[in-house]
Amino acid sequence: MKKLLFLLSFLLIGFIGISQSRYISATTKKIVFARDRGICQCCGSSLSLEYDHIVPYSCGGSSDRSNIQLLCQRCNRSKSNGCFCKVHDKKVGINCCDGKSTTIRSSGNTGTTTGQQCTGTTKKGARCRNRTTSAGGRCYLHD
């Protein structure tokens, strides 16, 4: 009985982890590939394509098909966590990491969440991933 409970809880935790990760389902990939006609949405290349989060995952972007686009490897890597392809100087996303307010979609919700990314840094020196609506631009951890 204990083994069965352990197995069920392990499966449940695994399922929850996938639903809140940057994992993109095969169905979503097929829909995005067809919608974007199998070409990079920046330069039009059909080589070395990657699935890119329009609103970066690190800024709260979901893995929903409305937030995924096809970019070639070169454009995707130059975009990084921003919104501009530096190779072609073209806007290919939404940059929520510049301190401006943005609107993002949460996976599975029809509503939107507004706010800005916290301007604080973590103990490791990375940019804080929390969102805030405070006038100071910092979340409750960095006030």
**105, containing H or E segment:** strand 102-105
Contact assessment for residue 103 and residue 112, using Cβ atoms and an 8 Å cutoff: yes
The identity of residue 71, as a single letter, is L
Give tens-digit pLDDT for 33-64.
999 999 999 999 999 999 999 888 877 788 99
Give the whole-angstrom CA distance, residue 127 versus residue 25.
28
In the three-class reduction of DSSP (H, G, I as helix; E, B as strand; rest coil), residue 89 is classed as coil
Give tens-digit pLDDT for 72-97.
999 999 988 788 888 888 888 876 55
> In the structure encoding, which two tokens stand for residue 119, read together?
């301007």
Q: Give the per-residue pLDDT at 46.
A: 95
Q: What is the pTM of this model?
A: 0.55
Contact assessment for residue 120 and residue 104, using Cβ atoms and an 8 Å cutoff: no
Q: What mean pLDDT do residues 109-137 have?
A: 64
Domain limits, the chain: 24-132
